[in-house]
Structure 1
């Protein structure tokens, strides 16, 4: 009987030892699971904090973009207003300049008008006097136009230039080279270098 009791005690001790090991193992596993859960919670908090930080950054960038858009819109409005003012001022200056030029031209032509009135009022049978009077009026008239930029285009003896001459017909002339203007049928004129009427000419073509 004593032997059996001793054996039972040994078995009980072994069982108790195994149970203790199982309990220790279970406690360790519980501790590990708790640690993992804490780490997971900590990681989730970190993610939330990072997301909140990114959201705040995006909000700040969006506000800055909106501010930039408003500033650009104001800048465009100011530029448009400046351009409108410039266009209006340019149009006004152009109109004033045009009026000034016309006034100057008319003022230069007034003496011609006076002389024409005098020529009409004078009765004469002298053809020479009439020719001289008309010649004087022509010179005054041309001088007034010349003062405002009018220039007559050179033609006779010049080489034909389609920019200044308009060929009406071709003629033979053994004394002249080809493409030389032989005769001017109607004078051509330019104003400040711009052709307003080409010369009508006959051109040599041997």
Structure 2
């Protein structure tokens, strides 16, 4: 083999090695991106399933809250203990109640059911909570239904 042929063969080999290395690096990057996407989707699906379970149990939680406000949940009774266990279970998943009287109204977290005119008000605030809302992590499971007091429109 002549030196020129050897040089062509070496150049072709180097080009082939560089091309194969580039393909390998791209395949590795695609794999890393795929793993990241799968993990992100797995976490999102888990959060969605938890939110669905929580959403289905909210009517029972509302009933427990109403019973507590009415005075039916006397501390130490079995129903009060069950209520506390259910609430602590939701809290373990990061669920928080939203919508407190006096809070600034935020349509991302609150659903205004009633608007009360207040000529002295400078911004819309929650005058009364009709149905509390809940947030799970960053996801609103249910917006709080509220009466809003604010400036005359």
TM-score range, shorter chain: 0.5 to 0.7
TM-score (norm 2): 0.56
TM-score (norm 1): 0.44
2:92 aligned residue (127, 147, 156): 147
What is the CA–CA distance in structure 2 between the aligned matches of 1:172 and 1:85, rounded to whole Å?
58
- Which has the higher mean CA deviation after the structures are superposed, 190-199 or 178-187? 190-199
Query: Where does the alignment leave 5 or more consecutive residues of structure 2 unmatched?
Result: 54-71
Is the contact between residue 129 and residue 146 of structure 2 (CA under 8 Å) also seen in structure 1? yes
Higher relative contact order (CA 8 A, sep 6+): 2
2:107 aligned residue (151, 159, 162): 162
Write out the 4+ residue segments of structure 1 that deviate beyond 6 Å after TM superposition.
none
User: Paired residue for 2:13?
Assistant: 67
Report which of the two has the higher share of strand: 2
C-alpha RMSD of matched pairs (Å): 4.1
**Following TM superposition, by how much is the alpha carbon of 1:69 offset from its aligned partner in structure 2, in angstroms?**
3.0
Is the contact between residue 177 and residue 204 of structure 1 (CA under 8 Å) also seen in structure 2? no
**Following TM superposition, by how much is the alpha carbon of 1:184 offset from its aligned partner in structure 2, in angstroms?**
1.4
Name the larger-Rg structure.
1
Superposition pairs of residues 54-203 of structure 1, within 5 angstroms: 60=7, 64=11, 66-83=12-29, 85-86=31-32, 89-90=35-36, 91=38, 95=42, 132-172=77-117, 178-203=123-148
Report which of the two has the higher share of helix: 1
SS at match of 1:189: strand
Q: Deviations over 1:165-201 (max 9, x none)?
A: 1212212357866411111122111122433322121
